């Protein structure tokens, strides 16, 4: 049964601020680090319960606030196969975080134990990690206090990227089984990616070095560790924005989120025309590429462009290997309309549109033999179904060129982090395709031109008053709003616009796209006005 005394004593050291309501949303808990101590402690408790519920399987806990400012922090739970916490447990997280007193917390713990039918006598194991934020040190201690109240076997992964923590979680749960995902160490992660990329790069003419903006975050030391393993001669990269010990620099005027939302290079970076650049976000689970042309004009190669590049390459490999395996792409409503058109009309690949949030994309991608999913902001990966894995691993090629394509597909299985989007792994995927095609960023970019678009935030009284349908492309409530949006879009050439409440910020987002920059901006403003 529950050791109430242990929980109460531990909880007294992590009092909850009275005036805040916490919500476990798409990005877990995220807030100013100052108000997160009690939340971290309670997430430790919940991780213990989740592990017990799953008979002692290892649960992951990642302390990070991704692309948010340095003063923020956050925490997410990772389920055993490296996927996001099952959505049915998000409510338990919110319930525990908001208990007002130690007694209320104990009452709610009992409630969760009963509702979720948890056998407390089962063992529990948790692996935890954290990013470079200065607040991590004390917040991680709070998580550990929560775990310790339940006598959990603990693995401290230390400073890691979010996708590394997902990788470790899956490895720990599959070790010694036929589904073993890899060695459950960071060294094992590097070796797996390095071996795969070295195989894929073999005999190819080296590309000029890639400049990597690490957002002054955890991606910087991790990229450098990786380059030591693989060697600069195989992967020539130049890490920049790698100041993880300079206060206040994390995600500041750099990183994938800055580049994507501002549609420009990191501040004070002069792009050398036609050279390749990319940016990670603060926890290295997102990546976007970019370059400048001869006039110095900035060109973004975002998640949509990566999806197109990856899908095209994988489809070619599948064909060359003589396999009959279906590739599909999953996007959200934020995908540029030009990318959807390119995928369906040029690549002739099926496209599914789902609501925002990795769990929706991941889930939809699982229904394809090979599912490529990317959010426009650069979060994404490629999933191979179990039967496709078997096909690729066991197929006997009948020609040397089939054999070569098959070898490349097999290496891709190892290269791609199938637990979650991973900036390092996705970077290597893009580099592989560019290497094989011998493409410059401009040649990659030539697939299609993005329709001009604008994303704006609208601060409203109550964002929960907004509900959507049709993968967020239509507003249901407030009533009558969709008709007004339709009216605004009606006469705009190439116009498309939709409105949805953010899952991570207290605002409503308005997206608009049109044939010209000016009309896209006008449409966004018009729709923002009717929302407000
Ligand atoms: P919200 O705040 O729900 O729009 C944002 C991103 C998502 C996703 C989550 C998780 C946009 C428009 N939205 O969600 O794609 O990455 O954060 O971090 O980019
Ligand atoms: Zn992130």
Residue 391 has a pLDDT of 97
Residue nearest to atom 8 of ligand 1 (CA): 357
Report which DSSP code applies to 80: T
| Ligand with smallest separation from the Cα of 421 | 2
- For residues 64-71, average pLDDT: 97
Residue position matching structure tokens 């800055």: 258
- For residues 356-362, average pLDDT: 93
Report which DSSP code applies to 28: B
What residues pair up with 237 in beta bridges, in sequence order? 210
C-alpha angle 451-260-530 in degrees, rounded to nearest 5: 60
For the chain, the average pLDDT equals 97
| Ligand with smallest separation from the Cα of 423 | 2
Catalytic residue among 11, 51, 66, 135: 66
Measured from the CA of 375, which atom of ligand 1 is nearest?
15
Contact in structure between 213 and 254 (CB atoms under 8 Å): yes
What residues pair up with 380 in beta bridges, in sequence order? 374
Q: Using 50, 70 and 90 to split pLDDT, how confident is the model at 1? A: confident
CA distance 410 to 414: 7
Q: Using 50, 70 and 90 to split pLDDT, how confident is the model at 504? A: confident
Measured from the CA of 455, which atom of ligand 1 is nearest?
12
Pocket test for ligand 1, best of 356, 423, 473, 505 (most atoms within 8 A of CB): 356
How far is ligand 2, taken at its centre, from the CA of residue 378, in Å? 9
Q: Using 50, 70 and 90 to split pLDDT, how confident is the model at 472? A: very high
- For residues 251-263, average pLDDT: 96
CA distance 473 to 511: 10
Q: CA dist 218 to 132, 160, 190, 222, Å? A: 6, 7, 15, 6
Pocket test for ligand 1, best of 23, 26, 508 (most atoms within 8 A of CB): 26
Q: Using 50, 70 and 90 to split pLDDT, how confident is the model at 189? A: very high
How far is Cα of residue 508 from the mean position of the Cα atoms in its chain?
21
Residue 506 has a pLDDT of 86
CA distance 38 to 15: 6
Contact in structure between 152 and 86 (CB atoms under 8 Å): no
Residue 447 has a pLDDT of 97
How far is ligand 1, taken at its centre, from the CA of residue 79, in Å? 21
Collapsing DSSP to helix, strand or coil, 134 comes out as: coil
How far is ligand 1, taken at its centre, from the CA of residue 469, in Å? 17
How far is Cα of residue 163 from the mean position of the Cα atoms in its chain?
8
Residue nearest to atom 10 of ligand 1 (CA): 27
CA distance 26 to 30: 10
How far is ligand 1, taken at its centre, from the CA of residue 66, in Å? 11
For 375-429, the pLDDT digits (tens) are: 999 999 999 999 999 999 999 999 999 999 999 999 999 999 999 999 999 999 9
Rounded to the nearest 10°, the torsion over CA 141, 173, 86, 288 is: 80
CA distance 343 to 515: 19
How far is ligand 2, taken at its centre, from the CA of residue 333, in Å? 19
Residue 204, pLDDT > 90, answer yes
Pocket test for ligand 1, best of 259, 282, 501, 503 (most atoms within 8 A of CB): 503
Query: Which candidate, 307, 306, 254, 300, places its Cα nearest to that of 280?
Result: 254
The reply to whether 339 belongs to the active site is no
CA distance 489 to 2: 57
Residue nearest to atom 17 of ligand 1 (CA): 504
Contact in structure between 418 and 425 (CB atoms under 8 Å): no
Residue 505, pLDDT > 90, answer no
pTM of the full predicted structure? 0.97
* Domains of the chain by start residue, with CATH: 4-159 (3.40.120.10), 188-299 (3.40.120.10), 303-445 (3.40.120.10), 453-531 (3.30.310.50)
How far is Cα of residue 410 from the mean position of the Cα atoms in its chain?
24
| Ligand with smallest separation from the Cα of 454 | 1
CA distance 425 to 513: 30
């Amino acid at each position: 049964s529950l050791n109430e005394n242990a929980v109460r004593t531990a909880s007294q050291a992590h009092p909850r601020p009275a005036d805040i309501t916490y919500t476990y949303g798409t990005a877990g808990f995220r807030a100013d680090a100052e108000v997160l101590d009690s939340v971290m402690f309670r997430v430790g408790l919940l991780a213990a319960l989740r592990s017990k519920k799953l008979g002692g399987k290892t649960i992951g806990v990642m302390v990070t606030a991704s692309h948010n400012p340095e003063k923020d922090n956050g925490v997410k739970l990772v389920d055993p196969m490296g996927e996001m916490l099952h959505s049915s447990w998000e409510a338990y997280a919110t319930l525990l975080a908001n208990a007002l007193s130690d007694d209320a917390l104990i009452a709610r713990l009992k409630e969760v134990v009963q509702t979720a039918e948890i056998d407390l006598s089962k063992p529990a194991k948790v692996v935890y990690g954290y990013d470079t934020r200065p607040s991590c040190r004390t917040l991680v201690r709070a998580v550990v206090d929560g775990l310790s109240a339940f006598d959990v076997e603990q693995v401290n992964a230390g400073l890691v990227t979010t996708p590394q923590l997902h990788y470790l979680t899956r490895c720990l749960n599959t070790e010694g089984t036929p589904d073993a995902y890899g060695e459950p160490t960071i060294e094992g992660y590097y070796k797996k990616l390095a071996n795969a990329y070295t195989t894929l790069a073999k005999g190819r003419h080296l590309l000029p070095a890639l400049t990597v903006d690490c957002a002054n975050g955890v991606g910087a030391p991790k990229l450098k560790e990786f380059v030591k393993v693989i060697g600069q001669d195989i992967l020539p990269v130049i890490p920049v924005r790698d100041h993880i010990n300079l206060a206040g620099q994390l995600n500041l005027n750099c990183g994938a989120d800055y580049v994507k939302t501002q549609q420009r290079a990191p501040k004070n970076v002069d792009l050398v025309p036609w050279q390749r650049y990319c940016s990670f976000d603060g926890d290295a689970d997102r990546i976007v590429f970019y370059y400048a042309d001869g006039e110095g004009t900035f060109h973004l190669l975002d998640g949509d462009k990566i999806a197109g590049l990856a899908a095209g390459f994988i489809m070619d490999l599948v064909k060359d290997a003589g396999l009959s395996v279906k590739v599909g792409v999953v996007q959200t409503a934020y995908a540029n309309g030009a990318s959807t058109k390119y995928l369906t009309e040029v690549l002739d690949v099926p496209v599914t549109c789902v609501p925002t949030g990795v769990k929706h994309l991941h889930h939809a991608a699982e229904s394809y033999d090979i599912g490529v999913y990317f959010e426009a902001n650069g979060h994404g990966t490629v999933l191979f179904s179990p039967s496709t894995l078997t096909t690729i691993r066991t197929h006997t090629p009948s020609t040397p060129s089939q054999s070569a394509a098959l070898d490349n597909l097999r290496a891709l299985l190892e290269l791609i982090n199938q637990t979650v989007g991973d900036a390092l792994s996705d970077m290597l995927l893009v580099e592989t395709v560019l290497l094989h095609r011998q493409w410059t960023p401009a040649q990659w970019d030539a697939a299609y031109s993005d329709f001009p678009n604008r994303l704006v935030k609208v601060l409203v009284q109550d964002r929960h008053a907004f509900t959507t349908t049709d993968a967020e492309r239509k507003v249901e409530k407030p009533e009558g709003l969709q008709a007004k949006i339709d009216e605004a879009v009606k006469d705009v050439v190439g116009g498309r616009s939709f409105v949805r409440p953010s899952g991570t910020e207290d605002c409503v987002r308005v997206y608009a796209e049109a044939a010209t920059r000016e009309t896209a901006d006008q449409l966004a403003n018009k729709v923002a006005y009717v929302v407000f």
